Structure 1
Amino acid sequence: MPPSAASLAIERHDEALVLRLAGRWRLAEHPPGAGAVVAALADGPPVPRVTFDTTGITGWDTALAVFLWGVQKATAERGIALDADGLPDGARRLLDLAGAVPAAQDAGKKEARRTGLVTRVGEATLRIWQTLLGALAFLGETALAFVAFLGGRARYRKTDLWLVLQDVGPRALPIVTLISFLVGVILAFVGAIQLSRFGAQIFIADLVGLAMVREMGPMMAAIIMSGRTGAAFAARISTMQVNQEVDALKTLGISPIEFLVLPRILALVIMMPLLTLYADLVGIAGGMAVSISLFGLTFTQYWNETLVALSLQQFAIGLVKAVVFGALIALAGCYQGIKTSGSASAVGTAATSAVVVAIVAIVVADGLFAVALNALGI
């Protein structure tokens, strides 16, 4: 063994187990682990304490700290005293620091509390109430930010708004194109199976057009943007929250709602109607491709029947839904990001929660739209 390599010699005496360390205890030297010490403590007769002789050490780094932590853990489990006087000053301080957190020994062993049904229901109710209060506070601050925006007093960077517009708009076109075209194809096939029984394939155009414009266009665009953009909003803002960048904005007197949330809500509210209109046209094109290629319709027949079935009112319904869905997606993503706290693992939780909350809110809002439109006879 080269003299510079890390070495460990274990000497057993009646009064102590002496660990003689020599050489360079660095990670690159692959020094011995604490396993040999653990084996010596387990195999031989018990000793009252463990001491160190480190006069032969020529250099060390975290490899020595890891070794000492393993030895400390082994002696603590057996009730053996550990004499750290022979260690270098820095290593001894690291060992004292590691031993200053006794709660870490019981990490992950939380004792489950036995609570009754009433207690659990009460705790769940309090959590829900606190969540509602937090959401209402966020909505209130967002409303105030919009008032400031309308008054020209909102503090945000216009370049951020343009970047978010580009991200939620043009960059989302490929996935919106693919999904909308396939939805149009599926609707055409589903309608054709039933309508072909009566020789009414021409009404595939009515089915695809109305379904895409009123429901599937805004709905599918919103779901796509929930997974793509809502999660991104939550991840970015929660990362800033974990890194204390949001706290820095508050320290500078800048509202995080105006600086971070407002541009994202504006971008989605502006782009969602445009994406929905594009999704409507692509879905109609998908239904047209199936009808012309498989069911004997001509382009002129399909186009004329689509114009008969659709009206500006139908398009307006879908576009209004798109505006509402865009606001819900942005609010869900930004709220989950703003309320994030803790470690980096909370970022993934925030992104997942943003998608779930946004999709649930979209479905609920679409149901309310359906009830309202039915009551109005539209």
Structure 2
Amino acid sequence: MNKVPSLDWDHSREASVLQVTGSWTLEQRKPELNDVWREGGRLPQQVMVQVAVEAWDSSLLALLRRMQRLATQQQVTLDLQGLPDGVARLLEMAASPSTQAAKAEPPEYGWIARVGLRAQSVATALTESCIFIGQVIQALGRLLTGKARMRASDFWMAFQQCGPGALPIVALIASLIGLILAFVGAAQLQAFGAQLYIANMVSIGMTREMGALMTAVIMAGRTGAAYAAELGSMQANEEIDALKTFGFPTLEFLVLPRLLALLISMPILTVFADALGVFGGFVIGSGLFDISAQQYINQSLTMLTLTDFLIGLFKSLVFAVLIGLIGCYYGLSCGRNAQAVGQATTKAVVSIIVALVVSDAVITLICTQLGI
């Protein structure tokens, strides 16, 4: 059999038969289909195509598809004979995308249906969130009873990431926040000659509110996003499925080390931010308003109470739980591609910041109502 691709009409039979022989591959020089098709003259309603090739690739598929289009234009039916294994299936797939795309168009919903679908998605998200929180609580219970399968090396790695690794950026932001608070307070207090009370405002503002909140915002963009991206990449690469296959509990193996690292590091970082924020206020007070170090320290200690300090620490613990849970939740519920990882990271950061602000407002409102 000749290896050169050929395309010829067989006029020895009563029916019109077009023979496809040779090797139909990309490197071969092939006959022009339009010229051969015109040589067939006036074609009957049905044309037989006899395929007997030695080798083939996409060139054969392209030839057969062009034949089908020419036959459709001339209202001729093709009877394909002798197709190699898989060619018939590939032709069906090549002919079906336009139909599938038309079927895949989403239906148009009215506003009532859209509201219902939105409510359904919110209810599903709340249900999945509650299930995730319950599973994490169960994992913590197993950890307290010594039954959790958590590696100490994972905990220390997570603690290094969200503890000492975050000190430089927390130090910078806390110092600047203290400077800003002092500037804002000085602009008003200077009119009354009460510049000394800059120490009161900065110390209370940092310990009760800004120290914990700004540290949490930093950790949301730094650690919460990292958790979502790490777990999302593992989900996309099917590493989490592999852990489940080998019998490793993913929450104990992946979530607990990160959550415990945040619970330990956040109060420490908050105390560190409080001290540097108070120091930033002192820089403004001593540099612009001649407040001595002794006066500033005495005024700060006189105004501060243990309650203010503990409220800030309590907020830091709440913020740590929110950052850890939301970051890990979006990472574990991520899709299976790179785009889904980016979307999960973005959703995690936005959700964490919203949760931080809402929880801080709720805690502050409760403290105000209780008079503490």
TM bin, normalised by shorter chain, reads 0.7 to 0.9
1:232 maps to what in 2?
Answer: 226
Q: 1:110 aligns with which of 102, 106, 109?
A: 106
Q: 1:44 — aligned with what?
A: none
Q: Distance in 2 between matches of 1:146 and 1:256?
A: 13
Which residue of structure 2 aligns with residue 352 of structure 1? Answer: 346
Alignment of 1:287-306 (within 5 A): 287-306=281-300
Query: Aligned pair 1:252/2:242, yes or no?
Result: no
> CA, structure 1 residues 318+67, in 2 after alignment: closer, same or farther (shift >3 Å)?
farther
CA distance in 2 between partners of 1:209 and 1:73 (Å): 81
Amino acid at match of 2:287: S
Instruction: Answer whether contact 1:69 1:98 (CA < 8 A) is retained.
Output: no
- Retained in 2: the 8 A contact 1:68–1:95? no
Please state how far the C-alpha of 1:109 moved relative to its aligned partner.
4.2
- The separation in 1 between residues aligned to 2:259 and 2:267, in whole angstroms, is 13
Deviation at 1:312, TM superposition (A): 2.8
Aligned to 2:39: none
**Residue 7 (structure 1) aligns with:** none
Distance of aligned partners of 1:100 and 1:319 in 2 relative to their CA distance in 1, 3 Å threshold = same
Q: Note if 1:213 corresponds to 2:207.
A: yes
Deviations along 1:63-84, whole A, 9 cap, x unmatched? x699789979987997998999
**Whole-angstrom distance in 2 between the partners of 1:269 and 1:221:** 13
Matched, 1:157 2:134: no
1:16-165 equivalence runs, <5 A = 25=26, 97-99=93-95, 101=97, 103=99, 105-106=101-102, 109-113=105-109, 115-117=110-112, 119-165=113-159
Q: Which moved more, 1:241-250 or 1:360-369?
A: 241-250
Q: Deviations over 1:256-279 (max 9, x none)?
A: 111111111101111000111111
In structure 2, do the counterparts of structure 1 residues 153 and 96 end up closer, same or farther at CA, with 3 Å as the change threshold? Answer: same
8 Å contact kept, 2:178–2:280:
yes
Q: How many residues align?
A: 352
TM-score (norm 1): 0.76
What is the CA-CA distance between 1:128 and the residue it aligns to?
2.1
Equivalent pair of 2:331/2:344 in contact (CA under 8 Å): yes
TM superposition shift of 1:136: 1.2
Structure-1 residue corresponding to 2:321: 327
1:265 aligns with 2:251: no
Map of 1:160-171 to 2, 5 A cutoff?
160-171=154-165
Q: Is the 8 A contact 1:264 1:330 kept in 2?
A: yes
Q: Which residue of 1 aligns with 2:307?
A: 313
User: Partners of 1:328 and 1:322 in 2: how far apart?
Assistant: 10
| 1:351–1:22 distance in 2 versus 1, CA, 3 Å | same
The sequence identity of aligned pairs, in percent, is 43
Q: Is the 8 A contact 1:65 1:95 kept in 2?
A: no
Which structure: larger Rg? 2
**2:72 and 2:150 mapped to 1: Cα distance?**
57
Report the Cα offset of residue 105 of structure 1: 4.0
Aligned-residue offset at 1:250 = 2.2
Deviates more, 1:318-327 or 1:291-300: 291-300
Q: Deviations over 1:309-330 (max 9, x none)?
A: 2233322111111011101110
Secondary structure at the residue paired with 1:110? coil
CA RMSD between the two structures: 4.2
Query: Which letter maps to 1:176?
Result: V
Residue of structure 1 aligned with 2:366, choices 345, 350, 372: 372
Matched residue type, 2:369: A
Amino acid of the structure 2 residue aligned with 1:110: P
CA distance in 2, matches of 1:179, 1:74: 67
Taking structure 2 as the reference length, the TM-score comes to 0.77
Q: Where does the alignment leave 5 or more consecutive residues of structure 1 unmatched? A: 1-14, 32-36, 38-46
Equivalent residues of 1:75, 1:81 under 8 A apart: no
2:309 aligns to what SS in structure 1?
helix
**Match in the other structure for 1:42:** none
